[in-house]
Amino acid sequence: MALMGLEPIGFAKANAARVWIDPVEYQTELGRAVGVLAHAGLAVSIYNHQLCVLDRRLWPYARRSISDWKNEYLRECDGCSVRHDCGGFFSSAMTMHSAHVAAVGTG
């Protein structure tokens, strides 16, 4: 079961105010969904999310899946201890991302 974060292109970008939610705001619901699906025996994957905005209990389900040619990181990611495992950002999302992005384990 794939749970996908929004790539802000096309109609998603044009309707961002209607469809985008900071991932920090839905951690409880995402955690419940993953728990239910995993308990049911489904292989669960979370795509297009940065580790720093996910509850650490969800990290085993997070996948680094954004193609290299459209994957970038913010300055806030410099020095992050989990950057090599993190999905990063779509190039198209550099101006629309969580306000809670921060390097993990740097301070």
Tens of pLDDT, residues 21-71: 999 999 999 999 999 999 999 999 999 999 999 999 999 999 998 888 888
Domain around 87 = 2-93
Instruction: Give the pLDDT confidence score for residue 83 in this predicted structure.
Output: 93
H helix or E strand, kind and range, residue 72: strand 71-72
Is residue 103, in this structure, part of any structural domain at all?
no
How many domains are there within the chain? 1
Q: Which residues lie below 8 Å from residue 52, measured CB to CB, with a gap of 6+?
A: 80, 82, 86, 100, 101, 102, 103, 104
For 4, 7, 10, 11, 40, the CA distances from 51, given in Å and listed in that order, are 14, 16, 25, 26, 24
Whether residue 33 lies inside any domain: the answer is: yes
- Asked if pLDDT for residue 91 goes beyond 70, the answer is yes
